[in-house]
Structures are given as C-alpha cells and as structure tokens.
Structure 1
C-alpha cells in the first residue's frame, strides 16, 4: 500500500472518531421523551370500553366555515372510533410467593 492511502484512511478514521465523540448526544442524566400509546383516533386505551371496544372520548369537529379562513367554529362531539388499534400493554401476571 502506498503511504498516501494510509494517511487518507487514518484521517477518515480520526475524523469519524472526533465526530462521534463531540457530536450531539444525550446527556447522562437525561431521559428520553415518554411516548404514550394512542389509538388512531388520538385517544388512549382508557377511553375504549373493554367489551365493546367503543371509544368514549370527544373530538373537536368543525361546524362553521368561512370562505377565507376555512373552519372557524368547532364543537366537541363523540369519537366515532369503534375499536382500539393502538399498541396493547403487557399483561400483568400474579404469581404467589414460594414458601418452603
């Protein structure tokens, strides 16, 4: 190998190391943002009935419109979601304590 390609390779390796070392990264005490599991309607699992899966939440619906600005009046109406399709929480299990 010629010395020029070795120097170029070393320069690329050093620049990659420095970019990883001093680039943006998460601080040690910082926690990532908590993500809440939501259905496609925007409501959580608590808004959906366990048996029928109907949503009991309210959604903001446009009821008045203007030619220039579009929707100008809103009303809270029941959500039309019929089934929760978001991520399901992990099941909780109860195991009795083992005693001898």
Structure 2
C-alpha cells in the first residue's frame, strides 16, 4: 500500500472519531406520559366505588372567610362527586387457545 492512501484513511478515521466525540449526542425519543385516570373532582378511579360510583375521597373545603384574604380556614370533608367521569382502562377478555 502506498503511504498516501494510509494517510487519507487515518485522516478519515480521526475525523470520524472527533466528530463522534465532540458532536451533538443523539437524543432518544421520550415516551409520552400515560394519562392518569382522574375524575373532575381530582380523584382517581380507585377512589370511586365500582357499583355506586360514589367517591370515597376527601376534599379541602373552606370553612371561615375573611373580607381581605378570602378563605382563611379549611376542613377536610367527604367528596360530593357522584360518578366517575374520567378515562376507563380497557377491559381484559379471556379467550381460550385455539387447538386443531
């Protein structure tokens, strides 16, 4: 091999190494966050009863008010939500295996 082709090959290798070392890193595609099942009351599906759909969560409710600052004192009370209206997970179905 002639020395010129060796120098060209070494130059290409060094250029590729430096470009990979100091060049911008590839960013991996981030997965979009899954939506959390949240009702209009702010509670998830787990806080709602399956049959009656009533909410079992607690809500911060204002008790005392002031003319200047608005609500001054709060109390935790039962949520008055009557039905879950958020997204529902897909149901899983059992299908027996098909055999010939």
Shift of 1:30: 2.1
1:12-91 aligned at under 5 Å gives the runs 27-91=27-91
- Unmatched segments (≥5 aa) in structure 2: 1-26
Question: 1:19 is matched with which residue?
Answer: none
Shift of 1:76: 0.7
Cα distance in 2, alignment partners of residues 30 and 86 from structure 1? 25
- Unmatched segments (≥5 aa) in structure 1: 1-26
* Structure of higher CA gyration radius: 2
Question: Number of matched residues?
Answer: 74
1:46-99 Cα offsets, whole Å, 9 max, x none, are 111111111101111011111111111111100001111111210111223445
2:77 is paired with a residue of what secondary structure? strand
Structure 2 length normalisation: TM-score? 0.64
Question: 2:19 is matched with which residue?
Answer: none
